[in-house]
Structure 1
Amino acid sequence: MRIAVLADIHGNVLALDAVLDDLRQRGGADLIVNLGDCVSGPLWPRETMERLEALALPTVRGNHDRRVARDTADEAMWPSDRYAQERLTSVQRDALLALPLTLEIAPAVTAFHARPDHDEKYLTDTMADGRLVRAPLVAIKRRLAALDPACRIVLCGHSHRSELIRIPDGPVVFNPGSIGCPAYGDDTPPAHVSEQGSPHARYGIVELGESGRPDRFEAIAVDYDHEAAARQAEQAGRPEWAHALRTGFMSG
């Protein structure tokens, strides 16, 4: 079975279309799974949501999907969430909120956005010197405590950092990176940044092994018109997003 893994689109329909086109050129997949954070961002939330509605992919709820759907539109709301919320219909917002926290997309293959029991806490990451780095193995194992012991592959997103970690006596954890948001800053204490280091749209392919064959994981980076996405962010008054989309780094 061949599974394409999408995560953290963040309203970047140009990046999403480039990924889908690249996947078609590679022969497609038996299943495409979406790991959430679909529309939040100063780009094309409505267009992205409509594209995803047409695809009808198995999808888990990200923290920004929940915030876009449920948070009150006031000054405390994060600007990217407010931008998306204002451009979605009530039906679309309800659909985001109704997404499940976890999905078993194939036998012993579990998908979720951040952790199996939480949509906003990091699984494989910790903060060091103001940026995300890999967490100690003992911490990752503890964060997976809510996972079914029979699970052998975990698909997750949230950090926007591509990771492949085999847990001793546990599952393989695969994060493909972000399709539409290659870098971000989070002021929530402790403040930190996540940086993919290039503007490429990231996604993954997992091939499940049969008859003793090992599973195969591929992290893919796709070029697309990131300059057009950056201009869209600038028009929305978000220069820091524009810089991240152009470079894969946060400014400063």
Structure 2
Amino acid sequence: MRIAVLADIHGNLLALDAVLDDLKQRGSADLTVNLGDSVSGPLWPRETFARLEALNLPTVRGNHDRRVAADPASDEMWPSDAYAQERLTQEQREALFAQPLTLEIAPGIIAFHARPDHDEKYLLDAITDGQLVRAPLSAIRRRLKTLDPACRIALCGHSHRPELIRIPGGPVIFNPGSIGCPAYDDATPPAHVSEQGSPHARYGIVTLGNAGQPDRFEAIAVDYDHEAAARQAEQAGRPEWAHALRTGFMPG
């Protein structure tokens, strides 16, 4: 069984289509899962929603999906969330909010956006000198306390950093990286940045072993027309997004 793992599209339709084309060239997956944060960003939220709606993928809710769905009168809107919210219908926003926090997509394989019990707290990451780095194993173990003990593979996104970690005596945790947003800054204390280091669209494939064969994990980077995406971000008044799309780094 081959499972394609998509995460953190952030309204980047060009990157999503490049990933879907690449997946098709590699041979269709038996199952494709979307780990959330699908539309927030100064790019193509409405068009991305429509593409994903047609695919009808099993999908979990990300923190930005929740924020896009919120009533702006009662929840402070971040610019990327506001941009997406203005371009989606009420029905589409409600569909985002209705997505589950966690989803068992196959026996022992659980998908969630950030942590099993929270859509916005990092699971595998810590903040050091304003950068996301891998968290200590002890911290990751604590953050997994609410995970079903029967889970053998956990699929997560949120940090936009590709990671593959096997917890001794526990599950394998796989983060494929971000399809559509290769770098971001977060001013929430402690302020920090996440940087993939290149403009590629990232996704993953998990091939489940059978007859005693091991599971296989592939982190894949796909080139696409990131310059067109950067120009779209510039037109939306987000030069820092444009820089991130072109380079995989934040300005600095």
- TM-score norm. by structure 1 comes to 0.99
Matches of 1:83 and 1:222, distance apart in 2: 26
Instruction: Tell me the equivalent position of 1:177.
Output: 177
Q: Map residues 109-120 of structure 1 onto 2, 5 A cutoff.
A: 109-120=109-120
Q: Considering only aligned residues, what root-mean-square deviation do their CA atoms show, in Å?
A: 1.0
Amino acid across the alignment from 1:141: R
Unaligned runs of 5+ in 1: none
Matches of 2:162 and 2:71, distance apart in 1: 29
Q: Map residues 146-225 of structure 1 onto 2, 5 A cutoff.
A: 146-225=146-225
Q: Deviations over 1:124-181 (max 9, x none)?
A: 0000000100000000011000001110000000000000000000000000000000
**Shift in Å, 1:106:** 0.4
Q: Deviations over 1:41-63 (max 9, x none)?
A: 00000000000000000000000
Amino acid across the alignment from 2:35: L
Instruction: Tell me the equivalent position of 1:80.
Output: 80
What SS does the corresponding residue of 1:194 show, helix, strand or coil? strand
What SS does the corresponding residue of 1:250 show, helix, strand or coil? coil
Matches of 1:124 and 1:26, distance apart in 2: 29
Matches of 1:111 and 1:229, distance apart in 2: 28
Amino acid across the alignment from 1:110: I
Give the 3 Å change call, closer, same or farther, for CA 111–31 of structure 1 in structure 2. same
| Corresponding position: 1:8 with 2:24 | no
Contact 1:111/1:156 (8 A) holds in 2: yes
| Corresponding position: 1:53 with 2:53 | yes
Instruction: Tell me the equivalent position of 2:63.
Output: 63
Q: Map residues 84-163 of structure 1 onto 2, 5 A cutoff.
A: 84-163=84-163
**Shift in Å, 1:207:** 0.4
Amino acid across the alignment from 2:186: D
Give the 3 Å change call, closer, same or farther, for CA 137–146 of structure 1 in structure 2. same
**Shift in Å, 1:75:** 9.7
Matches of 2:109 and 2:211, distance apart in 1: 17
Instruction: Tell me the equivalent position of 2:44.
Output: 44
Unaligned runs of 5+ in 2: none
Q: Identity rate of aligned residues, in percent?
A: 83
Matches of 2:147 and 2:247, distance apart in 1: 36
What SS does the corresponding residue of 1:93 show, helix, strand or coil? helix
**Shift in Å, 1:230:** 0.1
Amino acid across the alignment from 1:192: H
What SS does the corresponding residue of 1:188 show, helix, strand or coil? coil
**Would you identify which runs of 4 or more consecutive aligned residues in structure 1 move more than 6 Å?**
none
What SS does the corresponding residue of 2:184 show, helix, strand or coil? strand
Instruction: Tell me the equivalent position of 1:26.
Output: 26
Amino acid across the alignment from 2:68: V
**Shift in Å, 1:77:** 1.3
Amino acid across the alignment from 2:230: A
**Shift in Å, 1:74:** 8.6
Instruction: Tell me the equivalent position of 2:235.
Output: 235
Amino acid across the alignment from 1:220: I
Matches of 1:229 and 1:74, distance apart in 2: 31
Matches of 2:49 and 2:160, distance apart in 1: 20
- Aligned residues between the structures: 252
Matches of 2:59 and 2:101, distance apart in 1: 9
Matches of 2:234 and 2:74, distance apart in 1: 22
Amino acid across the alignment from 1:230: A
Give the 3 Å change call, closer, same or farther, for CA 79–73 of structure 1 in structure 2. farther
Amino acid across the alignment from 2:153: I
Matches of 2:173 and 2:76, distance apart in 1: 34
Give the 3 Å change call, closer, same or farther, for CA 74–100 of structure 1 in structure 2. closer
Matches of 2:143 and 2:208, distance apart in 1: 24
